A and B are shown apart, each in its own frame.
Chain A
Amino acid sequence: MTTPIVDGASDRPGTGEARPASPVPAVELRGITKRFGSVVACDRVDLTVERGEIHGLLGQNGAGKSTLMKILLGLITPDAGQIVINGHPVVVKDPLAAAAIGVAMVHQHFSVIPALTVWENVTLGETGRLDPRRAAREVEEIGARYGLDVDPQARVADLTTGQRQRVEIVKCLRRNPDILILDEPTSVLTLAESQDLFRVLRRVVQDEGRAVVLISHKLDEILHATDRVTIMRNGAVVSRVTTGETDARSLAREMVGREVSLRTQAAALGLISEAESAARVGAAGDPGERADVVLRVVDAHVRGPDGRRLLDGLSLDVRRGEILGLAGVEGNGQATLGQLLSSLVELEAGHVEVAGRRVACGRPGAMARAGVAVIPEDRHDSGCVLDMSVAENLVLDHLDAVSSRVLVNPRRMREHAAALIERFEIKTPSPDVPMRSLSGGNQQRVLLARELSRSPRVLVALQPTHGLDVGAIEYMTNQIRAAAERGVGVLLVSTELEEVLALSHRVAVIHGGRIMGVLPRAEADLERIGMMMGGRPL
């Protein structure tokens, strides 16, 4: 199913009829470079945004989009490079300085305060005398001018997400910025709300000659709402195109990179060899093995506390002995899927089966009892108890292994811990030190040891190598492979496409809380994956 963001062709920006650009661009970033330790977030990035245009900034997680915009907003100081606003070089020390030169940003996570009213939020942070009546009138005026209808006296807590975002935009527009930046603005919006938003943005650039930068990973909205696109990958600009002259396919290809380079990188890390991957694909490529499905999620719907659809009809099957890689841009439902499989959320509709049996979702420990092991994305959240000992953390959810009906046997707990510490090469001064004192990599090993030691049917690994060094990554990937070889069905959830492609037998892509499509590894080319990551179903 396609999801056109803007309906009629009339709303569609024709690049030919775009307003003539003024000779001086609104923003010019020249050679912006920013390193965090050994990671280069932005590598000599050049970006030019003209007045009167909506400029798309497209890229995956970690491509450097947000860092670049935070530099423009004065939240991050660049290591090198120059910012030129309306032809004048400037230094943006902090967000106040950015506001002074006319740069405003609507962040992905709203900064409105629910307990306050709309006009209070809009004037928040301003100094000097406050005139409530004038502020309310201004909110109404801006609303009328841009079609951002919102009651200035309403409490933000009572508004929908879409309306909250309007408040954010009104707040920005009231300061009369020349450059308006929106970071993934539609990730919290419904389809209709997104269409409204783009209509407003069009008005902002066309009638008033402002510049808008739209940060996004969604191909459709980039195609329908922008005039020009800059595509970033791994901290560098890889392509600049006029929206009218490109299509989803080439955008997707540019966004995720070329297949050759990916293979080379994976091989360099020792994660994959061509022959090996071909053999693996052959082994698990047959879709006829229905009986062997160990984990089946059917039409799962989950809504967040704010009413957002976190999972929206997600269905997937994981078979015995295979690694199903789940690719996708962060924030598309991966975290909720992880919580679902950790018994932390209840389903609104749909169900989950483990080895053919339905599991009572959301009942404490139900998934663990059914044989689902989870390596969570944030190990400090549901993965371990930092204030308990390493030995205790090794038996959190299968106390039966070391206890009678009432009492825990300390001797058996110590033996159990010693065995796992040896088998998984966990570096700890003693099994009795608190989990907190271990390094991140070793905490991760404790989790892995615990989850694998109770012979699970399914292993769910969420971002299992995130933040680990090369050695730890190799260890983790070997363990995941070995588990699959032992017959465990592995669901590998990762935003790093290299990882998914290097390890998986089949590749699924998640977008907007549902699966866009599943491909055998051999057919999973980057173009198709990129399209699905951008929200185009297979």
Chain B
Amino acid sequence: MSAADRVGSERLGTASAAAAVGDRARRIAVNVALYTLAFATALALSALLVVVATDASPGTVFSAMYEGSLKTGAARGLTLDEATPVLIVGLGAVIASRAGIINIGPEGQLLIGATTATAVALHAEGPAWLVIGLTLVAGAAGGALWAGIAALLRFTRGVDVVISTLLLNFIAAEVVSYAVGRPWLLQETTSNLQKLPQSDRIPEELQLPRLGSFPGFNVSSAVFIAAALVVVVAFMMARSRWGFRLKMLGYNPTAARKAGVSVALMGGGALLLSGAFAGLSGGVMLTGTVFRLQPGFSQGIGFNGLLAALIARRNPIAVVPVAFFFGALRAGGGFLASTGVPRFLVDIVQALLVLAALFPPLFLDLARRRRELRNARAAARRTAPVPETVGAAA
């Protein structure tokens, strides 16, 4: 790099410093406009699809979505119940992405966590509060174990975490099928001749208590576990040495290593922790809403949590509204399906709304990169003026 280039980049630095202070308000306005535009587009496309594919009018579809997720107390409770496991998974995914690790495997980690939690819930003896606690801990341990396989592969053999965690999802699904299909493992112990591939329902006293009762607002107390985790994670990230080093590792692994952060310990730890959150989420679903292990137990919650973390970027607080949004989509989608709109359409509408939420940050990121590129080119032009074509033409 020539001295001239360096001078150019320094000039660039001062310019962006001045700009960074000035345009906060403008940034917020741009964000609001982008989100409005994105959701309007998603809703318009959804409406179009509904009109083309079904007899129903778009109005009835959206009001059904609203009715199922937000209109009544019961609907709002359902939304919260759906949001809780998404939130817990999302928090874990944020921890991993802060360390610069992309864990694609929460779905599988959640399943394994649910499996270990089921085993403890069905077999452990003791007072109910203790067994519930042990069940949740077992869930977290199961998830951490499953993520630990990926961590081990990464830091001993150099296997890419994206690939190993993704593939472990499929294996986890098979592990669950196997466990609930074997009487000597977790298959149900019913007197019926036909035993279904599912576990026994966990006993009533091990189910997390619900607040409120049916026609009105009612919600599983699991939501408090999630709320407590948000506070703890946000605080630890903002204020602890661990949070500081995690951030350093995620942004610049080389500088982190120089400063004494071990990639294997810190990064592997973050991966294990994100697995533990997914596994805990499985335990919470088991004790809070689903009550028995069966194939398909996870219902895509793991992937929803991952998406929530993607939208929230590296910010644990931002996961809360995003998880709530996903919860509302899931609750409203379920209600919509019960009104006779085909399930595939519900899924498409959900996906369009997720894309709408993902679009603005991605768009802004791309725009920033293009602007930087343009600035760099302009700086290069300033320092290296276009040469006059002399001589050689003769």
Contact with B along A150-175 (1 / 0, CB 8 A): 00000000000000000000000000
Cross-interface CB contact of B2 among A39, A366, A434, A468, cutoff 8 Å: A39
Q: Is the CB of B4 within 8 A of A39?
A: yes
Contact with A along B292-331 (1 / 0, CB 8 A): 0000000000000000000000000000000000000000
Q: Is the CB of B3 within 8 A of A440?
A: no
Given A82-B392, A91-B392, A429-B17, A369-B241 contact (CB < 8 Å): no
Q: Looking across the interface, which residue of chain A has its beta carbon closest to that of B247? A: A388
Q: Is the CB of B2 within 8 A of A342?
A: no
Q: Which residues of B contact A392 (CB under 8 A)?
A: 244
Q: Is the CB of A438 within 8 A of B17?
A: yes
Q: Which residues of B contact A37 (CB under 8 A)?
A: 2-4, 7-8, 383-384
Q: How far is the CA of A54 from the CA of B243 in the complex (A)?
A: 60
Which of the listed residues B9, B240, B244, B259 has the most CB atoms from chain A within 10 Å of its own CB? B259
Q: Which residues of B contact A92 (CB under 8 A)?
A: 392
CB-contacts of A351-379 with B (<8 A): 364-369, 374
B388 part of interface (Cβ distance < 8 Å): yes
Given A79-B388, A441-B10, A91-B393 contact (CB < 8 Å): yes
Q: Which residues of B contact A384 (CB under 8 A)?
A: 252, 255
Q: Which residues of A contact B252 (CB under 8 A)?
A: 382, 384-387
A41 CB, min distance to chain B CBs, angstroms: 7
Cross-interface CB contact of A77 among B3, B262, B263, B387, cutoff 8 Å: B387
Q: Is the CB of A467 within 8 A of B17?
A: no
Q: Is the CB of B392 within 8 A of A403?
A: no
Q: Is the CB of A81 within 8 A of B240?
A: no
Cross-interface CB contact of A81 among B11, B244, B384, B392, cutoff 8 Å: B392
A396 part of interface (Cβ distance < 8 Å): yes
Q: Looking across the interface, which residue of chain B has its beta carbon closest to that of A396? A: B259
Q: Is the CB of A364 within 8 A of B257?
A: yes
CB-contacts of A376-427 with B (<8 A): 381-388, 392, 396-397, 399, 403, 405-408, 410
Q: Is the CB of A89 within 8 A of B1?
A: no
Cross-interface CB contact of B257 among A344, A369, A388, cutoff 8 Å: A344
Q: Which residues of B contact A111 (CB under 8 A)?
A: none
Q: Is the CB of A467 within 8 A of B7?
A: yes
Q: How far is the CA of A441 from the CA of B3 in the complex (A)?
A: 13
Q: How far is the CA of A34 from the CA of B2 in the complex (A)?
A: 13
Q: Which residues of A contact B5 (CB under 8 A)?
A: 36, 467
Q: How far is the CA of A90 from the CA of B391 in the complex (A)?
A: 10
Contact with A along B1-35 (1 / 0, CB 8 A): 11111111111011011001100000000000000
Q: Which residues of B contact A387 (CB under 8 A)?
A: 251-252
Sample of 14 further A-B pairs with CB below 8 A, known A364-B263, A408-B240: A34-B387, A37-B8, A344-B257, A364-B257, A364-B259, A364-B260, A365-B257, A382-B254, A388-B251, A405-B241, A437-B13, A437-B17, A440-B9, A440-B10
A-B contact pairs, 21 of them (CB 8 A): A30-B391, A37-B2, A37-B7, A39-B3, A78-B390, A80-B391, A82-B394, A91-B389, A343-B258, A365-B261, A369-B260, A382-B258, A385-B247, A385-B248, A386-B251, A387-B251, A388-B247, A396-B259, A397-B259, A408-B240, A467-B6
